[in-house]
Chains A and B, each alone.
Chain A
C-alpha cells in the first residue's frame, strides 16, 4: 500500500512537466492535461477509499447509528470534493469568479443536505427541555 505514493508522486511530476512544456504553445491542451491528471489521481485512490467507506458503514450499522446520518456525511464529503475539484480547475484557468461561484454552490448544497440533521437536533433539544413541545 505504501509504494503507491511513489506512483502518485511520479505521475504528478510527469503531468506537471508535460503541462509546463505544452503551455508555451497551447494553453488549452495544458489545461486538459491538468484535468485528466487530477481525475486519474483521484480514480487511483478511489479503490482503497471505497473499502474504507464500506468499513465505516458496516461499523456504524453495528453501533446502531441511523444509516441516514452516515449517508448524509458521505454525500457532504462527495460534494465538497467535487466542488473543490471544479473550483481548482477554474482557478487554474484564471477564472476566479467561476471558481467562487462553484464554491458557493457547493456550500449551499451542503447546507441543504445538513438541514434534516439539524432539524432532528433541534427536535431532540426541544424534547429535553421541560416546558418545550
Chain B
C-alpha cells in the first residue's frame, strides 16, 4: 500500500507543478510553451494511469473472467 500512496502523490504533484509552470509561462507571455507543458504533463500522468489500469484489468481477468 505504501507504493500505491506514492503514485497518487506523484500524480497530484505533477498536476500542481504543471499548473504552476503554466501560470508562470502565461504571465511571461509564452502561451504556446504553456500549452506544450500542459500536454506533456498530461501524457506523463496518462502513462502512469494506464499502467495501473492495465494491472487492474489483468487482475480482474485472472480472478473473474478466465480463471483456470
**CB within 8 Å of B: which residues of A?**
7, 11, 14-15, 18, 21-22, 25-26, 28-30, 32-33, 35-37, 39-40, 42-44, 46, 49-50, 53, 57, 71, 74-75, 77-79, 81-82
Contact, CB under 8 Å: A33 / B11? yes
In the bound assembly, the distance between CA atoms of A10 and B5 in angstroms comes to 10
Chain B residues with CB below 8 A from A7, complex form: 1
Q: Chain A residue with minimal CB distance to B64?
A: A78
Q: Which residues of B are found within 8 Å of A21, using beta-carbon distances?
A: 12, 16
State whether B5 touches A14 (Cβ < 8 A). yes
Could you tell me how many residues of chain B have their Cβ less than 8 Å away from some Cβ of chain A?
Answer: 33
Take A11-B1, A30-B15, A74-B64 as given contacts and tell me if A43 and B8 are in contact as well, using a CB distance cutoff of 8 Å: no
Q: Does B40 contact A (CB under 8 A)?
A: no
Partner of A53, one of B45, B59, B61, B63: B63
Is B52 among interface residues, defined by CB-CB distance under 8 A?
A: yes
Are A29's CB and B65's CB within 8 A?
no
Provide the B1-34 mask, 1 if CB < 8 A to any CB of A, else 0: 1001101110110111011001000000000000
In the bound complex, residues from chain B placing their C-beta under 8 Å from that of A36 are 7-8, 11, 48-49, 52-53
